[in-house]
Amino acid sequence: MTRGKLSAAIKKFRQSIRYHRDQKGDDRCWLDDYKLWALLEDTPPKPTALPPHDEMMARCRDFFTHRRADAADPIPADAQADSQKWDDDLEVMSEESLRLELDRLMKAIAAHRDMKGRPLTLEDDRTLYKVLPEKLTADFRLPPEGEFLGEEKANAGCPAFWRSHASCPCKHHDIHHWGPCSCD
C-alpha cells in the first residue's frame, strides 16, 4: 500500500471509531457495532433481516445494562477538541509507522468484535476509543429505561425502532435506520 492509501485507510478506520464514540442518547445502539466491525475483512456480513423480536430486545436490554453510564466521561486536559487536527499525526509518520498504526486500529476493532461469552461493556468501548489520538471521551448516557426499552415516549426507544421495520416487505434491508426500507 502506498503512503497515501495507508493514510486514507487509517482515516477511514478512525472516522468509523469516532462515529461509534460520538453517538449520544437514543442514537447509541448495538447495531453501530456492526458498522464498525464491517471494516474488517473477516467480519461476517451484518444482519439484513430482522432477528426475532425477543432477540432484538434482549440485545437492547444488554446494551442498556452494560453500556450505559449516569454521566458523560470527563474530558482529559490534553484532549484535542479541534477535529481539523485529529489526524495531523499522520503527516509526520513514516510509511512503516503508518502500517503499524493501521494494524493497531484493526486489532482494536477486532478485539472489540471478538468479545466472547459476555455482553460488550462501556469499558470495552472506552478501550476501543483510546486508540484515537484526540483523547476525547464518550457520553454513555442513555434515556431513562422506560424510554429506551419501553413505551414511555412516543416514537422513541427500542420497541418503536423495531416496529418501524416490521412493515418492510423486503427480506434484506438496512436495519440501522428508522423505518421500513424502500425496496427496489
pLDDT digits (tens, 9 = 90+) for 49-101: 677 889 989 999 999 999 999 999 999 999 999 999 999 999 999 999 999 99
CA 140 to CA 60: how far, in whole Å?
14
The CA angle 158-162-165, to the nearest 5 degrees, is 150
Q: Quick one: pLDDT band at residue 16, thresholds 50, 70, 90?
A: very high
Cβ proximity of 151 and 157 under 8 Å? yes
Which region among 26-35, 136-145, 157-166 has the lowest average model confidence (pLDDT)? 157-166
pLDDT surpasses 80 at 167: no
